[in-house]
Structure 1
């Protein structure tokens, strides 16, 4: 069976991660690298594939079966539209766009043309998330009441020295990091229809926030609280608890989400489950049955690429659609608006 040929546009960190996954894939193969930067030549040479300076040059020379767009955020929409016009399926890295309006343009083009567009929220392909979602939907927790979440980590000084734009408006953990958490919370708890937030830059004093406290209201009536900080020396983040990315130190006893229902609670990603054995025994004076939900830890980027291959071949619909990506962007921008204005931002789902 011939492999599905995938080109990767963007030879930065995430692009190189996609390249490594493609090189290890049983059903997909890296066909080319697209990047105008001088450093991309070494990446393509090491991978043993041709290098193209632009998507146009790629399409004129060696049309692949699909394209991964791991390029800078401002290029996401124009490059995605270029691929859609050429009839090429795409895996578009998050965020779907830099503005809601631009994201809507892409969604409209995708849905109008029936294009195959997968948005790169790779945690959607995590076996941990799949198992947690299964537990919630099974009813083991009862009716969902609340979620408590965190993404607390410490970014070193050189992170900002190497890229000074990260200190300025347009950066900050709300826009750079929170979009991952928004998608996770939507998968676990349902649609979000209102947010409020307090933001602080008291530690670093940059033009952008370093810490944010967020309240969330879900359409099903559940409520959530979330603590976000890139200056907190605390490992309660997905990267430092899930053990899915070996670049991060991880801690087996830490969780970043706790889902609480009327019959029990689930801590993620340790998957510690506490439930009352019978409805009539539910009381804070009564002990829980305590256990751990079994799961297999595997690389979500690998699962995402295999899914993209299936999307390209017409065997599957995108697990994370362009519209999903737009919803994540809308919630993230609403949180930024709530933090800046001091008011509740709500909308209809």
Structure 2
């Protein structure tokens, strides 16, 4: 059996699995279906003509974990659905499929936008209903603890899931506002340590610089010699990951980004920082982040509660939590 991880399955393999599942459910399926001029959907399942609608699938081999990527996928599917309805007179169900794991917040967002989400968990569950569980798990990896797996590994994974669920629940239960800044900062430190240490060193709590002027919330030394964090050291001088945890009820803005930028220096901590906050950043924050990157090579990311929970979800399913950080960087740079 393949180990968990979206890296080992191709889009064509996932399309084939979807086709097998929906064919077993009685749908007439067609891959790479032409919807309109220069528009092709990954998979079409035609309804039975007795109330079961057609379904259009867009397959993403790399799970879209940022709100930007989820929104792009929704817009793409809506375009396909509109074109399909105009050509056939039938309004299809829109669905996004990925071999990775999406957080509850990501799945809820898709549902609110009128798109069904099929991640690893739902794909295996759907496959199991038509006798294809083993086939799905062979491609996607296990999504739960099964009796025939190694007992020690079962125990380890069970503990991990419990820890990650507990951290996510603690995060969600902290109220925004100054009165709760300390517990928020502490749970953010615990989450980041759990996600990334190792390979990063555990975070240092509220470390001021020599002049006692700049007091950073969290610093995670990065001595990685391979992999994603080594790439960040080489590309963004991320010798230390500087993190500010802001328990604001609303979005962070320009002032908070400027504050983070002041903490970053080529001869000090390095040029990479993360602001962790409850809801994200506003337009002024984005503008200053771009300015700091273009003028001073300082790369500053903003993560919110949903991002932290998505990374905890990834880790609990055996996937790389760094994927979200990677996508955040790509989204930011490709939008400039």
Q: Same fold (TM over 0.5)?
A: no
- Tell me the TM-score normalized by structure 1: 0.28
Whichever structure has more strand as a proportion of its residues is 1
Higher relative CO (Cα under 8 Å, sequence separation at least 6) belongs to: 1
- Tell me the TM-score normalized by structure 2: 0.29
